[in-house]
Structure 1
Amino acid sequence: MKAGIYLSPKQVKMTEREMPVPRPDEALIKVSYAGICGTDMMIYHGLHPRAEAPLILGHEFSGIVAASDGDRVNKGDRVVVEPLLNCGFCAPCREGQAHVCKSLRYIGIDQNGGFAEYTTVPLHRLRVLPESVTEKMGAMIEPLAVAIHTVRRSKLKVGDTAAILGAGPIGLLIGLIAERAGAGKIVISDVSPVRLQAASKMGFEAVDARKTDISQVVKEYTDGCGADVVYEVAGNQTTADQMIECVKHQGEIAVVSVYKKPPVIQLAAMHFREISLMTTRCYSPGDFTKAIELLEQNKLNLDPLVSHTLPLEDIQTGFNLMENPDQALKILFKL
């Protein structure tokens, strides 16, 4: 079978691999679509603390069951993969918070993933896609669940002003979910014309961070107060500063980014205005279910987020495109 392999920093290649054989508690999946995520880019740059080459990347993917001996799915079922692998025994797992398991692992990071024609997946990590949800959109369910979890954990209320720092796929998805949650105004900043254009088309106030300070724009809309909730989704020192400048007194900052380099946080500036800071990690099973439901009900249009659909043979091209935010948004491989 064809497989996209991470070989070393900044080197990925499509090659031939033996088709995997599923264990009794696994199904064999014929992959349909798989997306490149920010975490895949971290692995690509050799910065992920756990991922080791050679590795088949990909944890955002959908497919069709090719073989299964279990009773959860049947051959021919169209499925999406919920890629979290938790231990089931630590305190978070016992408390029903498996997404913050002390030894959480991922399909596509800690074991081979979806950048391949076929892969094996534990039966309990498979969700059958509703008839109305395409396999292409199925590959968007995992990042959508991240956005749902983020907004659900935040204190956003109906009518609130939300500021989003970073208009990548997760930032834009957070905007869509914040809109559904009743946000009165959504302002989103970035430096990429491609991403800003996508934000504008989706109905958000798009701010070019190269030309305009988003905190000033937000304050114009809020009589000088600031945003009720700021979602930090860019992960750099500039946005670490801006998230404090953008938020109102007693407002909330939700940090979604995984910083590659620890930022300097101006805690004194937060202290004097009683600003709350919250972090968020991936999603719960309920968030994943809600993502499927929203797509089934045709409540969201995610097509504008997909900038490229490539064959797996173009895996290096895909990663090259992702290196430049001016060229790409969400890239999917069609297997």
Structure 2
Amino acid sequence: MKALVYAAPSRVEVRDVPEPQPRDHAAKVRMRYCGVCGTDIAIHAGKHPRAKAPLVIGHEFVGVIEEVRGGTRGFKPGDRVVAYPLLSCGVCLPCRTGTPHVCEKLKLIGIDCDGGMAGFAWVDEDVLFKVDDALSDRIAALIEPLAVIVRSLHQSRYQVRDSAVIIGAGPIGLLTAIALRRSGASRIVISDVDEARLGMCHTLGYETVNGKNGGLVNFVNEATKGEGMDVVFECSGVESAALEVTKLARVGGTICMTGIHKAPRPVDLREINFKEQTLVGSRVYTKREFEQTVSYAAQIRDDLEHVVTQVVPLTKSAGIFDMIADPAINTLKVLVDCTA
């Protein structure tokens, strides 16, 4: 079968690889679409500490079941499914106390074992969820990143009619904005330094600000008469954002770290004290939240149509990371069509 394989830093290749071996209590899934994630970009760059070549990448996938071995959950051939891709150890403290999504040895499909940018994969039944018939394959491929947002909103304790500022207009930032608007936010401001992405968000009806040179802090101060916003979602992972977040949130406001920072960052902890702000982390999602997202995606599918900007056939995907890195192409969310 064809697969997109991480071969070495800055090199992926479309290869003919053997089909994976059948497993008991698992299903053979013929892949349809698989999304490209920021984690995949890090793998391609050789910067992910666990991903080892050769590796079939991809953890944001949707496919159709072709065979089930020892089925106990009622799946059958023809079912469209997505997978909860987290692999927990089951024995560490988080796993023993009900939070396996923050397992001390957490692994993921497509990072620690072969993933979904391929013709087929055998996937354990207990991580599969059937996709609503109303949802297209393209939108179903967004369920995994959308689950990140569901978790983030839960962690932030966002409430209806709260105001929110989102730092970062990438896929996670835009998905956050979509979920907030659907949830009745009173005001949503999205910041980035990429004018193309800001333009896309503006076209979709969101209030946008270029964050260069403190532009976001100045805008929020003027717009709120210095009071700040109820919730800040930091989705960019960039250093400058870490120092700005406390200036953007109101007294008693919440800062939710949705994006993962790859290094320690300076944060103004004095403002956390003086303004009694809450700074909370958010990491992936629980299995329950992933299940909730499967049905949630069907409810907001019309909004999600705007997130996918490019689809690349698997057979022509060797240059996909060069395409994403090219500022002239203006990618947001790129999918690999595993059937082509």
TM-score (norm 1): 0.95
Instruction: Work out the number of aligned pairs and report it.
Output: 335
Q: Which stretch shows the higher mean deviation, 267-276 or 125-134?
A: 267-276
Aligned AA for 1:331? V
Matched, 1:71 2:72: yes
Q: What does residue 12 of structure 1 align with?
A: 12
1:196-230 per-residue CA deviation (whole Å, 9 max, x = no partner) reads: 12211332101122377112222233222111111
Whole-Å separation in 1 of the counterparts to 2:235 and 2:285: 15
Tell me the distance in 2 between the aligned counterparts of 1:196 and 1:334: 27
Q: 1:324 to 1:164 in 2, by over 3 A?
A: farther
1:334 maps to 2:337 = yes
CA 1:89–1:212 in 2, change beyond 3 Å: closer, same or farther? closer
The structural deviation recorded for 1:146 is: 0.3
Amino acid of the residue matched to residue 332 of structure 1?
A: L
Specify whether residues 324 and 214 from structure 1 end up closer, same or farther in structure 2 by C-alpha distance, changes over 3 A only: farther
Worse overlay, 276-285 or 91-100: 91-100
Is it true that 1:86 corresponds to 2:71 in the alignment?
no
Q: CA 1:282 to 1:316, structure 2 compared with 1: closer, same or farther past 3 Å?
A: same
**Residue 182 of structure 1, aligned match among 171, 180, 184:** 184
Rate the CA distance shift 1:222–1:145 in 2: closer, same or farther, 3 A: same
Per mean C-alpha deviation after superposition, the further-off stretch among 284-293 and 147-156 is 284-293
Paired with 2:184 and 2:326, the residues of 1 have a C-alpha distance of: 33
1:290-305 to 2 correspondence within 5 Å? 290-298=292-300, 300-305=302-307
> What are structure 1's unaligned runs of at least 5 residues?
none
Q: Which residue of 2 aligns with 1:279?
A: 281
**Secondary structure of the corresponding residue to residue 261 of structure 1:** coil
Matching of residues 47-196 of structure 1 within 5 Å? 47-69=47-69, 70-72=71-73, 73-196=75-198
The 3 A distance-change label for structure 1 pair 233 and 297 is closer
Inter-partner Cα distance in structure 2 for 1:152 and 1:259: 20
Equivalent position amino acid for 1:229 in 2: V
- SS, match of residue 304 in structure 1: coil
Mapped contact 1:165–1:239 kept (Cα < 8 A): yes
Deviation by residue 1:108-127 (Cα, 9 ceiling, x = unmatched) = 01000001011111111111
Displacement of 1:58 in angstroms is: 0.1
The answer (yes or no) to whether the contact 2:177–2:188 under 8 Å persists in 1 is: yes
Q: Does the C-alpha gap of structure 1 residues 8 and 311 become closer, same or farther in structure 2, counting only changes over 3 Å?
A: same
* TM-aligned CA deviation for residue 298 of structure 1: 4.3
What code does the residue aligned with 2:146 have?
L
Point out where structure 2 has 5 or more consecutive residues left out of the alignment.
none
Deviations, residues 23-46 of structure 1 (Å, cap 9, x unaligned):
112211110000000111111111
Bigger shift: residues 267-276 or 42-51:
267-276
User: Contact 2:189 / 2:208 at 8 angstroms: preserved in 1?
Assistant: yes
Q: Distance in 1 between matches of 2:198 and 2:214?
A: 13
Structure 1 residues 179 and 127: alpha-carbon distance in aligned structure 2, compared to 1, 3 A threshold: same
Q: 1:170 to 1:325 in 2, by over 3 A?
A: farther
Q: Matched residues in 2 for 1:298 and 1:158: separation?
A: 17
CA deviation profile, 1:282-326 (whole Å, cap 9, x unmatched): 011222122111222346521111110010123233211222466
Deviating more after overlay: 12-21 vs 285-294: 285-294
Deviates more, 1:316-325 or 1:185-194: 316-325
Query: RMSD of the alignment, in Å?
Result: 1.6
Q: Answer yes or no: is the 8 Å Cα contact 1:164–1:186 preserved in 2.
A: yes
Task: Tell me the CA shift for residue 268 of structure 1.
Answer: 2.2
Match of residue 21 from structure 1: 21
Aligned partners of 1:294 and 1:300 also within 8 Å:
no
Contact 2:307 2:333 in 1 (8 A): yes
Q: Which residue of 2 aligns with 1:205?
A: 207
Distance (Å, rounded) in 1 between the aligned partners of 2:212 and 2:221: 18
Change (3 A) 1:318 1:149: same
Cα distance change on mapping 1:209 and 1:148 into 2, 3 Å: same
Of 297-306 and 222-231, the range deviating more from structure 2: 297-306
Give the SS at the match of 2:104. coil
Instruction: Tell me the secondary structure at the aligned position of residue 314 of structure 1.
Output: helix
Does 1:253 pair with 2:255? yes
Confirm or deny: 8 A CA contact 1:194 1:329 kept in the other structure. Answer: no
Structure 1 stretch displaced more, 204-213 or 128-137? 204-213
Q: Percent identity?
A: 38
> Cα deviations across residues 63-120 of structure 1 (Å, max 9, x unaligned)?
0112112132111111111111112233322332221122211000100000101111
Q: In the aligned structure 2, how far is the partner of 1:271 from the partner of 1:321?
A: 44
Q: How does 1:37-56 map to 2 (within 5 A)?
A: 37-56=37-56
